Structure 1
């Protein structure tokens, strides 16, 4: 248990006279109290009030394994991840990990993205998955099912029990925009990265004004609901997206509308709605539940910041990250950066 032992070496106090961990053991590290429970160290005070809802939403989502573990869903996500981070070249994964042992999955959720993208390569690193939600329990189970060694920590990813740079690779897929500040999260995690280490992350891109308005309107509408109520409330939106997709009708936009972010040209009517009116995800080979998982992921978290490529470029420069690859899509911004 490399990471657990390393974390415990920083402990100021513990409520046990022994060196070994036991269920319910409490330790204080950097002023924060952790409890060891079900094989995982967990911060007792995980987050500020404004992030509590986001934490609960992701704990709920990642427990619904039947909505993201079909071969079709995993295949589509792996192709998307591989394209954005490695240009579709899986051979580049081993090259990036070569000589880099200490691996942080910052906001690991159920381990979905890291397992899909890195797969068996994770057996060659010291993997630490951190998440603010109890999705770490799902991740622990999923890694065990695949026979891959891993350790987990339930904690705020901007308040970890480490002093100075300790990681060679930090991977954070679709997470930093769910903290209280994307910029602060990038800065904090960059400080934990060793010189020559790699920081791979994906954050949301800003959309056109109509889409931005509707996204926040829906998010506010379901804010007071329970997670299950919000899931159910989003299902009609999901089914509308599917109905539009099944039309297979293209619209020819005769002239660009730059003030709405809409380009000129032919576009499927479902994609026209999806990119410029409201997020209503559609894939013909996915079930309604699988598509609703994607929509829930977008609309449910209260913390859901969007940023521009210019923002991200500036943040990286300010914390000593040299961008080696930036993939900008309408949906988001993928960065592969090196600590200099």
Structure 2
């Protein structure tokens, strides 16, 4: 996707898209300008409007954690890492460039990438579509700066906003498409963020998202225990603390051993059957990611992504379905995996 051609000049790509003023409803977005959006104070810094609003302590920690993670570009931007992400995204959402429903949203639909991070998921899933979209990447952290650079490097123009996705100051029913890959659960409330974003969708608009799924009791205990241990330390220290866990995953993976579980262990949520030892440990004891074509730092990045944020809720499919129904979202595609739940839903139309 990095080969996408563009006739935009470097100067064009560095500037904010002209449609940003219209979307935000402001007369000017000059550097250093302060303005009010929906009761929130914003300032334009380095060509990105940024919210001045304070966030909760937990969300501030999550912002710092992801700002640190996404600035370590070499831990996720290799061809192997991007190929893995692209393959996984298409398995869950389908190839959106061939989606039959895309034409329903007219020319140049407004798409909010809610929690865009460094733009990894947006570029890998949406890259070919970006020239057809008004792409607005939003993130609570300074990862938006990394995302803008990565879009520019690929010759793609996009808008960016640094703000809390749970309280986006945009008009209700003003957005055509919302994409939120693995972010809603990193807010103070998965349900609250989902419903707040859904209110921005036009009738007939679509919401594409992925959230963490609840695991078995041992894994849930370990997740919370390790996450609590990481909260008092800096992101740099948390990264280092992850390294022995990452090495354990590699050691288990290199065993390449399987065992038979003759009978389901219902008390621990472990199904019967033959399973690789590393995967058994990964799914039912602790997240220790392993993939032989990735580097140590790339695997550590994936483990850090899971354990370091203070906000990382897990939910059941029943909860997700109920939240969608409450938000007038009709589920069109539903993919349930051990790791999480992927949804494509359409906002109900009136009448």
Q: Secondary structure in 2 aligned to 1:293? A: helix
> 1:21 Cα deviation (Å)?
3.0
Deviation at 1:98, TM superposition (A): 2.2
Aligned-partner Cα distance in 2 for 1:182–1:123: 30
Residue number in structure 1 paired with 2:102 = 97
1:4 aligns with 2:9: no
**What residue is the counterpart of 1:14 in the other structure?**
none
Report the equivalent of 2:204: 196
Distance (Å, rounded) in 2 between the aligned partners of 1:6 and 1:207:
43
Whether 2:200 is the aligned partner of 1:184: answer no
The C-alpha deviation readout for 1:102-130, integer Å capped at 9, x for no partner, is: 11100000110010011121110111000
- Aligned residue for 1:158, secondary structure, equals helix
Distance 2:185 2:19 in 1: 26
- Equivalent residue number for residue 231 of structure 1: 239
Report the Cα offset of residue 34 of structure 1. 0.3
| Pick aligned residue for 1:269 from 264, 277, 291 | 277
Write out per-residue CA displacement over residues 34-53 of structure 1, whole angstroms, 9 at most, x where no aligned residue: 00011100001241222100
Q: For 1:118-168, what per-residue CA distance to the aligned partner results, in whole angstroms no more than 9, with x for missing partners?
A: 112111011100000000000010010111110000001111121211111
Counterpart-to-counterpart distance in 2, 1:216 and 1:105: 28
Structure 1 residues 304 and 3, CA, compared in 2 at 3 Å: closer, same or farther? Answer: farther
Q: Distance in 1 between matches of 2:52 and 2:314?
A: 29
Q: Which residue of the partner structure matches residue 59 of structure 1?
A: 67
Partners of 1:190 and 1:49 in 2: how far apart?
A: 25
CA shift for structure 1 position 92: 2.9
Q: Considering only aligned residues, what root-mean-square deviation do their CA atoms show, in Å?
A: 1.2
Deviation of the 1:248 alpha carbon = 0.4
Distance of 2:19 and 2:168 partners within structure 1:
12
Q: CA deviation at 1:222?
A: 1.3
Aligned with residue 219 of structure 1, among 219, 227, 233: 227
SS in 1 for 2:53: coil
Matched residue, 2:11: none
Change in 2 beyond 3 A, CA 1:96/1:228: farther
Deviates more, 1:262-271 or 1:96-105: 96-105
The corresponding residue for 1:253 is: 261
**1:1-340 superposed matches below 5 A:** 1-9=17-25, 19-86=27-94, 89=95, 92-93=98-99, 95-100=100-105, 101-340=109-348
Secondary structure of 1:172's aligned partner: strand
Residues 3, 128 of structure 1: 8 Å contact kept: no
Contact 1:190 / 1:319 at 8 angstroms: preserved in 2? yes
CA contact (8 A) 1:46 1:156 kept: no
Q: Deviations over 1:152-199 (max 9, x none)?
A: 000011111212111111000000000000001111111001111110
Distance 2:230 2:172 in 1: 40
Structure 1 segments of 4 or more deviating over 4 A? none
- Provide the TM-score with structure 2 as the length reference: 0.91
